[in-house]
C-alpha cells in the first residue's frame, strides 16, 4: 500500500560516442593543466640544472636562505661558499638559487 512496485529496467544501449563525449572534458582539463603547470615547471628545472652544472670557482651566488657569497671550492655534490673573509659554508649544489653578476658581492 505505501510501497510502490519496483520494475526492472532494460539494459542501456549506450554508444561509444556518448562515452567519448563524456571523457572529453577530462582530457581537455589534463591538456590545459599540462601547458599551464607541468611544462613551465619542467623548463624551470632544466634551467636550474644547467645553472648548477655551469658553476665555477669565483662565481657570486645566492644560496638557500638568501645568503650571498662567492664560490670557493666545488665538489661533485657540495659547494663551499665564502660569505666573509675566512668564513665558508658548505652547501649542496641544489641549494644555490641564483648566480649573481660579477661585482655584486664585495
Judged against a pLDDT cut of 80, whether residue 16 lies above it is answered with: no
Q: Are residues 62 and 88 in the same domain?
A: yes
**Longest distance between any two alpha carbons in the chain, whole Å:** 94
Per the CB < 8 A criterion, the answer to whether 92 and 48 are in contact is: no
In a domain, 10, yes or no: no
Q: What is the mean pLDDT of the chain?
A: 89
Shared domain for 24 and 49, answered yes or no, is yes
Confirm whether 7 is domain-assigned.
no
Residue 65 located in a structural domain: yes
Tell me the per-residue pLDDT of 29-48, one tens digit each, with 9 for 90 and over. 999 999 999 999 999 999 99
Residue 4 inside a domain? The answer is no
Could you tell me if 31 and 39 are in contact, meaning their C-beta atoms sit under 8 angstroms apart? no
What CATH number has the domain bearing residue 63?
2.30.30
State in Å, rounded, how far the first CA of the chain is from the last one: 93
pLDDT of 14 above 60: no
The pLDDT of residue 11 is above 80: no
Residues in the chain: 106
Average the pLDDT over 20-26 and give the result.
87
Count of structural domains, the chain: 2
Of 4-8, 33-37, 63-67, 99-103, the poorest mean pLDDT is in 4-8
Residue partners of 104: CB distance under 8 A and separation at least 6: 60, 68
Show the domain range for 27: 15-54
Is the per-residue pLDDT at 89 higher than 90?
yes
C-alpha cell belonging to residue 66? 638568501
CA-closest candidate to residue 105, choices 79, 85, 77: 85
Q: Is 62 helix (H, G, I), strand (E, B) or coil?
A: strand
Amino acid at each position: 500500500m505505501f510501497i510502490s512496485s519496483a520494475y526492472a529496467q532494460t539494459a542501456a544501449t549506450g554508444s561509444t560516442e556518448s562515452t567519448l563525449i563524456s571523457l572529453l572534458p577530462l582530457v581537455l582539463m589534463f591538456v590545459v593543466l599540462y601547458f599551464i603547470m607541468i611544462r613551465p615547471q619542467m623548463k624551470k628545472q632544466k634551467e636550474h640544472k644547467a645553472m648548477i652544472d655551469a658553476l665555477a670557482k669565483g662565481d657570486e651566488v645566492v644560496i638557500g636562505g638568501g645568503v650571498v657569497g662567492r664560490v670557493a671550492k666545488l665538489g661533485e655534490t657540495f659547494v663551499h661558499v665564502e660569505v666573509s673573509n675566512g668564513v665558508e659554508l658548505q652547501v649542496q649544489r641544489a641549494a644555490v638559487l641564483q648566480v649573481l653578476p660579477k661585482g655584486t658581492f664585495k
